[in-house]
């Protein structure tokens, strides 16, 4: 705004002369015959104010619902991971929900809660409590690299069950 005022003053002072006959620019106020500065500079005044938002935490990269499959002794199993914020900037809570796939329709449905973090680009979640436990099933933990601020998919390892191997999910919605 200060730059705009100077431009307006310089533009209106070309015809103004001091009592000594020389042009002056020392008085920043416009004369009464000059339109107000706001009228002269309205085209240069921004109409929108942009603010920067703080950078997203690594945790924010995975918030929301993801769907895909994981592989264990029972075969391919449908997986839905729903991530939410935990108490700290890297902390996460999640629900690990599983069930049948088209190629493996006999898998029961189940779900449990998880907690963990994303640190140095690595997601680590461990199981905490069952929500719905099918007979004979155990909880597993997961680990996966997280690349970028909005990764379209996560692919990682199932931890804690030797008969399980990997999972792959894509962002839903």
Residue by residue, what is the 3-state secondary structure of 87-151? CCCCEEEEEEEEECECCECCCCCEEEEEEEEEECCEEEEEEEEEEECCCCCCCCEEEEECCCCCC
Provide the token pair at 64. 């929301």
Distance separating alpha carbons of residues 42 and 74, to the nearest angstrom:
70
pLDDT tens digits in sequence order for the chain, 173 residues long: 344 333 333 333 444 444 444 444 444 444 444 444 444 444 444 455 554 444 456 788 899 999 999 999 999 999 999 999 998 877 999 999 999 999 999 999 999 999 999 988 999 999 999 999 999 999 999 999 998 888 999 999 999 888 999 999 999 86
Element (H, E) at 84: strand 75-85
Q: In which element (H, E) is residue 154 found?
A: strand 153-159
Is the pTM higher than 0.85? The answer reads no
With a CB cutoff of 8 Å and minimum separation 6, the contacts of 34 are 12, 40
């Amino acid at each position: 705004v200060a730059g705009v005022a100077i431009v307006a003053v310089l533009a209106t002072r070309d015809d103004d002369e001091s009592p000594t006959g020389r042009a002056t620019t020392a008085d920043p106020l416009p004369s009464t015959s000059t339109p107000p500065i706001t009228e002269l500079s309205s085209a240069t005044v921004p109409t929108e104010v942009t603010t920067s938002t703080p950078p997203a935490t690594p945790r924010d990269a995975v918030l929301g619902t993801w769907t895909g499959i994981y592989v264990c002794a029972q075969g391919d199993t449908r997986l839905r991971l729903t991530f939410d914020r935990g108490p700290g900037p890297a902390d996460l809570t999640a629900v690990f929900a599983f069930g049948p796939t088209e190629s493996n329709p006999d898998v029961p449905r189940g779900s449990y809660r998880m907690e963990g973090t994303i640190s140095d680009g690595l997601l680590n979640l461990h199981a905490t409590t069952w929500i719905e436990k099918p007979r004979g099933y155990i909880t597993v933990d997961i680990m996966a690299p997280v690349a970028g601020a909005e990764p379209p998919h996560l692919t990682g390892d199932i931890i804690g069950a030797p008969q399980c191997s990997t999972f792959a999910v894509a962002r839903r919605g």
